[in-house]
Structure 1
């Protein structure tokens, strides 16, 4: 009976107790305080932008909204449907972000793997040729002329093709692959695997952390870019990105404010204030909407940063 009772009792290991010294407590307090303040500083601009889009428009005009929203409403978001072609520009931005980022990641991964293979013909030359392009830039006008001669004006592929090959990302992937033990590739070659099989089944899964990193950078770059849309899509409004539309709207709002002030001799009537107020809140609202999609990417990519460098083990 006693033996049966002892079996029923679960073994509970003793918890190890660590005593914190006064210096450790002071360090922890300072450390948490600094990180808390830094977090607030990073989050507050987004919070300030958001609360001004859902607060009473009159309070927004006089600058009364600082930390807490007042007179909450969502009319500003409903008014976005009056901004012309905003839905089409959103689809264009999403399309270029998804397609451009996916092609860039695949090209960077494959090129980074190929330049690590000693069997590659003129491997050092091609790698140096890729790297040297980082240090030379002809300028904006030659870039525009080149894009025009290639027929990439008023063409959606102008968003995709120039961004596929990114030398810096290739360098990151190459350096990462070189940190993977050679035994993994050698064991696969012994089993009869070819280069592309090794890349697909070994290199690609192990490179997820670095690929997630360059994917985030690429997605942010695609989503926030509007210079190429501004210069290359003058006659194709249906291909203009949402950032381009926001830029146009900001310019129109600024010009409207300047015209109203000049025509009224500096005195703005209540009707003019309402028009300017609407433009201001809509600018805040559009800015908030353009931020949301790219912010949603980070939670899904963050897990790859926490897995460490190696995701597998060396075959014995």
Structure 2
């Protein structure tokens, strides 16, 4: 083994070395370009807010503090809004993945009644939208407005995700399902024990799409929700950003009032720029934590060895 490694090393000529240097150098620079925006946001949230507003902070943080994050924590209803966003992300992602995987699987079954009609019916919804008012009236008639389920139910069936799963399932050898059916497995058993384990890469992709959409979405709260107990974190922070130009109103909402001296001190510390950057960091961090968990499924060859002989 060591001799093979040495032989491979000896085969590298000067052109190969130059190519490797340029290749590694290019990807290192590309990585730094991708990381820098997040680094820029972070150092501006922990640096002097006045220097940040003036555009002075670019590489090294100055006058480091964490007051911006402390002020965000003081927002009324932040804990409840955080729980609502976590709950809608977890439940919405779970239901979307299950619905997309099951429908995508069923649309590959020749024996499904009206398979072509229902598949085309779902695809058509990608091109036609009734609009805001009909959608609001539909949610109201279904008694979903001002309920938690308005975050979940409208997002369960996603045509694009169904198409992705259907295409992936069609690439799976039919001998897997045929072998299971010979052993007496029904359609649900085939779906749960054969299709779902085999479709992990595409399901992980759909899960990321759904989780990002659920976590970042605040528009449905704006349209359908008036009860503050059901506000999502993103909508609450959206309101927080909109109040950045009026620091007095911002402080009243964030701290519930307080002495004039306290309000003046906070007003001198925060700026609209620092507020926007702080909120951006808070919203982005959970998504950055999710990506590494699912990343391995994108490159894993889960079909290797699934069919023997």
- The 5 Å alignment of 1:90-129 reads 90-129=82-121
Q: 1:52 to 1:166 in 2, by over 3 A?
A: same
Per mean C-alpha deviation after superposition, the further-off stretch among 207-216 and 44-53 is: 44-53
Which residue number in structure 1 is paired with residue 187 of structure 2?
195
Q: 1:289 to 1:311 in 2, by over 3 A?
A: farther
Which residue number in structure 2 is paired with residue 310 of structure 1?
303
Do structure 1's residue 254 and structure 2's residue 231 form an aligned pair?
Answer: no
Which residue number in structure 1 is paired with residue 251 of structure 2?
none
Give the Å deviation of 1:299.
0.8
Which residues of structure 1 form unaligned runs of 5+? 1-10, 258-270
- The 5 Å alignment of 1:1-316 reads 13-15=3-5, 16-18=7-9, 19-233=11-225, 235-256=226-247, 275=267, 277-280=269-272, 281-308=274-301, 310-316=303-309
CA contact (8 A) 2:204 2:297 kept: yes
CA contact (8 A) 1:113 1:173 kept: yes
Question: 1:168 and 1:184 mapped to 2: Cα distance?
Answer: 25
CA contact (8 A) 2:49 2:271 kept: no
RMSD: 2.3
Q: Deviations over 1:214-235 (max 9, x none)?
A: 10011001111111111111x2
Question: 2:23 and 2:133 mapped to 1: Cα distance?
Answer: 49
CA contact (8 A) 1:253 1:276 kept: no
Give the Å deviation of 1:315.
4.3
Question: 2:133 and 2:61 mapped to 1: Cα distance?
Answer: 46
Per mean C-alpha deviation after superposition, the further-off stretch among 158-167 and 124-133 is: 124-133
TM-score normalised by the chain length of structure 2: 0.87
Larger Rg: 1 or 2? Answer: 1
Q: Deviations over 1:242-300 (max 9, x none)?
A: 1111111111112459xxxxxxxxxxxxx979626414334322221111111100111
CA contact (8 A) 1:61 1:277 kept: no
Give the Å deviation of 1:67.
0.9
